């Protein structure tokens, strides 16, 4: 365990040092985050400006969902996209061999090898938005703490789904953009689930668990989450994490190395 911790620190220190070579990019990334934030707020405002409200979600409550979404975007830009989108290249070029030879869990190596600071602004803005809206609603401190739990489950779920889709490239090298489909569907997390018609709600809860990523954490922070949904989120996160690891082991059996 300690060894993994040590390796992780080395990975991230090098990755950060490499990325900081492109400082202008940080400026552009921040500008993009600000622009994205303004656009997201505008998109939500379009619904509320005529006096329409999503059932049981006033403006501030809907802001918390949007904050969750922004947080999730930051998380995936920082940790998921730079690593998991690279799996395909390893498989295409046969460099996965070198990863497999290392005396360390290959899933760990592939998932944590690099980190990109460009998602940091989104992480920050998401957190600020949640705390701002939460304070206006008078959310108690322990609710924020309790909210960390489903947020963590959400991160695990998203990671596991993304990793499994990435791992599918062992069979189908050219389908790396299947993760883009997932990203497209995640956009549904900008709004609370009740805003959707019934068919959409079922799809985004049971087929692609977007509801668990933003709506359920927001409800927990608002103090109206139910133990049932929270437990469901925990079970689902645990199951998906296990499935991602099992799936990777299974997929590796079919890996035939591209270069040799």
**Binding footprint of another protein on the chain (CB under 8 A):** 22, 24-25, 28-29, 31-32, 35-36, 38-39, 42-43, 46-47, 49-52, 172, 174-175, 177-178, 180-181, 183-185, 187-188, 191, 195-197, 199-200
Task: Look at residues 155, 186, 3 and name the one whose alpha carbon lies nearest to residue 79.
Answer: 155
| Residue nearer to another protein on the CB measure, 28 or 104 | 28
| Residue nearer to another protein on the CB measure, 10 or 24 | 24
CB neighbour list of residue 3: distance below 8 Å, 6 or more residues apart: 104
What the block records as the tokens of 133 is 């809206």
| Residue nearer to another protein on the CB measure, 38 or 145 | 38
* H helix runs in the chain, sequence order: 2-19, 23-48, 59-75, 81-84, 87-93, 96-101, 106-112, 120-136, 141-167, 178-186, 198-202, 210-213, 215-221, 227-252
Q: Output the smallest distance, CB 32 to another protein, in A.
A: 5
Helix axes 59-75, 141-167, angle to 10 degrees: 40
Q: Output the smallest distance, CB 199 to another protein, in A.
A: 8
| Residue nearer to another protein on the CB measure, 109 or 196 | 196
Q: Output the smallest distance, CB 161 to another protein, in A.
A: 15
- Residues 172, 174: Cα–Cα separation, whole Å: 6
Q: Output the smallest distance, CB 176 to another protein, in A.
A: 8
| Residue nearer to another protein on the CB measure, 104 or 173 | 173
Q: Output the smallest distance, CB 153 to another protein, in A.
A: 23
| Residue nearer to another protein on the CB measure, 146 or 185 | 185
Q: Output the smallest distance, CB 23 to another protein, in A.
A: 12
CB 80 within 8 A of CB 162: yes
CB 204 within 8 A of CB 210: yes
| Residue nearer to another protein on the CB measure, 88 or 230 | 88
Q: Output the smallest distance, CB 182 to another protein, in A.
A: 9
CB neighbour list of residue 16: distance below 8 Å, 6 or more residues apart: 115, 117
Coil vs helix vs strand at 57: strand
CB 211 within 8 A of CB 201: yes
């Amino acid at each position: 365990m300690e060894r993994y911790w040590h390796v992780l620190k080395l990975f991230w220190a090098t990755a950060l040092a490499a990325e900081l070579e492109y400082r202008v990019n940080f400026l552009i990334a921040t500008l993009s985050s600000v622009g994205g934030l303004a656009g997201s707020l505008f998109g939500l405002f379009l619904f509320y400006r005529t006096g329409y409200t999503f059932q049981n979600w006033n403006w501030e409550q809907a802001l918390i969902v949007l904050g969750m979404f922004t947080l999730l975007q930051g998380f995936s830009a920082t940790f998921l996209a730079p690593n998991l989108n690279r799996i395909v290249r390893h498989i295409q070029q046969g460099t996965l061999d070198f990863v497999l030879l290392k005396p360390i869990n290959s899933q760990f190596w592939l998932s944590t090898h690099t980190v990109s600071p460009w998602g940091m602004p989104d992480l920050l803005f998401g957190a600020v938005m949640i705390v701002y809206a939460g304070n206006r609603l008078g959310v108690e401190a322990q609710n924020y703490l309790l909210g960390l739990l489903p947020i963590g489950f959400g991160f695990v779920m998203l990671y596991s789904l993304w990793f499994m889709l990435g791992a599918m490239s062992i069979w189908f090298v050219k389908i790396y953009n299947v993760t883009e489909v997932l990203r497209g569907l995640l956009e549904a997390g900008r709004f609370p689930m009740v805003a959707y018609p019934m068919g959409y709600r079922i799809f985004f809860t049971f087929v692609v668990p977007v509801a668990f990523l933003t709506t359920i954490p927001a409800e927990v922070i608002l103090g109206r989450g139910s133990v049932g949904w929270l437990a469901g989120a925990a079970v689902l996160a645990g199951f998906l994490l296990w499935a991602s690891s099992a799936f990777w082991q299974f997929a590796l059996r079919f890996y035939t190395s591209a270069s040799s």
